[in-house]
Structure 1
Amino acid sequence: MKLAKLKIENIASVEMAEIDFDSGALADASVFLITGDTGAGKTTILDSICLALYNTTPRLNMASGVKSNFGTDNITARNTSNLLRHGARQASAVLTFLGSDGVMYEAVWQVKRNRNNRLTSPEQTLSWGDNTVKNADAVRKVTEEAVGLDFDQFCRTTMLAQGQFTQFLKSKDDEKSEILEKLTGTEIYSEIGKKIEEIKKEKEADYNAQRSLTEGIVLLKQEEIDSLDGQKSEA
């Protein structure tokens, strides 16, 4: 995938921001650095990308799932609604990106307070061409196909949170293999390997069947052959 544009509104410490990855200095830079003072909103940029795509972030995903009182709201620390900027009534993250399938997508995450000042559940939509999906399961499925990675794989390879830089390196071999295949588009070689393994098992089965047919055959010693040849000649 390739990031095209990110719009942030009232998320954590960021009131309003827009980043166009296809224009200005970013369009010509193969590598760039996000820098700033503590609390300036560096991690919020990364959080907003994750929110738009997966409705979670690495730091929230590791938080407690037990409900607690956050101001007037009784929610878990893992709830993404916690990222609504203090004092704001609504927040959103809008990410435009080019999917691994060559299609341009727009992923939207938003949360707001109702007339009773209660937080509503976060909502996600994903649009491409004339298509729009809003159902959570459908959004997750299409997003994973468009990005080519699920959230855990995205965190291990693309969105490495603080203190998790070795998570990918410590992953099991089969996990790293699956991720690298998706990143490099080499899944076809695993499919070829599976087909070869199937053929190997079929041939082994044929071999064992033929071998069982010959197990009852006993080869004569040379002395026994000579004795039978003698008997044949006499007869």
Structure 2
Amino acid sequence: MHLHTLTIQALGPFPGRHTIDFARLGSSGLFLLEGPTGAGKSTIIDAVVFALYGKVASREATEERLRSAHARPGDETVVDLVLEVGSGVYRVRRTPAYQRPKQRGTGTTLQQSTVKLWRLTDPDRPDDGELVSTRLDEVGLELQRVVGLDRTQFVQTVVLPQGEFAGFLRANPEDRRGLLQKVFGTEVYDRLQQRLERLRAEAGRALEDASERVARAVDHFVGAAGVPADDADALRGLATRLDAAA
């Protein structure tokens, strides 16, 4: 998965609108997310995870923390992510649920969470895309399908927030094995190994059946031809050696 751009507004410590060009930052193959405590590093990670899964990275936190306390009342909290996976380029735009001022009267009302998912032909033209869905459940399933990981798997292997990787290391070996297969795409080798094991077992059974048929054929020949006992034993021994050599 490759991130192209991330646009956030009224999110965490960022009251305004900001766009991160990941494609440009990662052109050399590596970039560093660095800054002092409170600079907004976790907010950027939360924004990516929220865009993909509708939840923040940490299991102990809720999406309520996404709304910037410094945002103007009328500014919408938005996360807009353009990403590329094996099946194509996608743009997802999400807004979390938060309290906003009422349009009439005083007080606040709940602004419901929203989502839109587009499939793009060009990551540099995010406004020219095919709308896939605006339903939370459909978008969630589609993004999980194209990314290939659910939220728990994503944060344990791609994001690695504090404490999550330790949980991954403490998981039972079979769970870790299955997850790493998904991340690194090694399922094909596992399937190949299983196939080779089945072929070896089938070949072993076929060889055993053939050996039994040869032994029966030798016994039938010895009996029908009236071969003396010593010669019969020699024939059986020759058949056994030929079988072993095969």
What is the deviation of 1:193? 5.1
Report the CA distance shift for 1:121/1:197 in structure 2 as closer, same or farther (over 3 A): farther
Aligned-partner Cα distance in 1 for 2:163–2:205: 50
Q: Contact 1:81–1:122 (CA<8 Å) still a contact in 2? A: no
Map of 1:125 onto structure 2: 116
Aligned-partner Cα distance in 1 for 2:155–2:133: 24
Residue 100 (1) aligns with residue 86 (2) = yes
Map of 2:141 onto structure 1: 141
Q: How many residues get paired?
A: 197
Map of 1:37 onto structure 2: 36
Q: Contact 1:124–1:134 (CA<8 Å) still a contact in 2? A: yes
Map of 1:179 onto structure 2: 179
Map of 1:170 onto structure 2: 170
Q: Contact 2:157–2:165 (CA<8 Å) still a contact in 1? A: no
With structure 2 as the length reference, what TM-score do the two structures score?
A: 0.67
Aligned-partner Cα distance in 2 for 1:151–1:39: 24
Q: Contact 1:11–1:85 (CA<8 Å) still a contact in 2? A: yes
Map of 2:65 onto structure 1: 82
Letter in 1 for 2:89: M
Q: Contact 1:107–1:124 (CA<8 Å) still a contact in 2? A: yes
Q: Contact 1:58–1:161 (CA<8 Å) still a contact in 2? A: yes
Aligned-partner Cα distance in 1 for 2:13–2:22: 21
| Per-residue Cα deviation, 1:16-71 (whole angstroms, up to 9, x for no partner) | 22100122xx1433222212222221110001001100011132x324xxxxxxxx
Which one is further off, 44-53 or 112-121? 112-121
Q: Percent identical across equivalent pairs?
A: 27
Aligned-partner Cα distance in 2 for 1:99–1:11: 26
With structure 1 as the length reference, what TM-score do the two structures score?
A: 0.69
**Which residues of structure 2 form unaligned runs of 5+?**
121-129, 207-246
CA RMSD of aligned residues (A): 3.2
Report the CA distance shift for 1:195/1:5 in structure 2 as closer, same or farther (over 3 A): same
Q: Secondary structure at the match of 2:174?
A: helix
Aligned-partner Cα distance in 1 for 2:200–2:138: 39
Letter in 2 for 1:57: V
| Per-residue Cα deviation, 1:143-168 (whole angstroms, up to 9, x for no partner) | 11211111000011011112333232
**Which residues of structure 1 form unaligned runs of 5+?**
64-77, 207-235
Summarize the alignment of residues 148-167 of structure 1 with structure 2, pairs less than 5 Å apart. Answer: 148-167=148-167
Letter in 2 for 1:167: G
Aligned-partner Cα distance in 2 for 1:136–1:201: 48
Aligned-partner Cα distance in 1 for 2:90–2:180: 23
What is the deviation of 1:12? 1.1
Q: Secondary structure at the match of 1:118?
A: strand
Report the CA distance shift for 1:205/1:126 in structure 2 as closer, same or farther (over 3 A): farther
